[in-house]
Amino acid sequence: MTIEYLKNSGLTEKLINAYYSLYNELGYGFLESVYQRAFALMLKEQGISFREQAPIRVIFHGVEMGEFLADLLVENCVLVELKAVRALEQAT
Residue 47 DSSP symbol = T
For 24-38, write each residue's pLDDT tens digit: 999 988 999 999 999
- Kindly list the domain boundaries of the chain, sorted by start residue: 9-80
Is the whole model's pTM more than 0.95, yes or no? Answer: no
Task: Please give the distance of CA 71 from its chain centroid, rounded to a whole number.
Answer: 6
pLDDT above 90: percentage of residues in the chain: 68
Mean pLDDT of the chain: 89
* Torsion of the alpha carbons at 28, 29, 32 and 36, rounded to the nearest 10: -40
CB 56 within 8 A of CB 69: yes
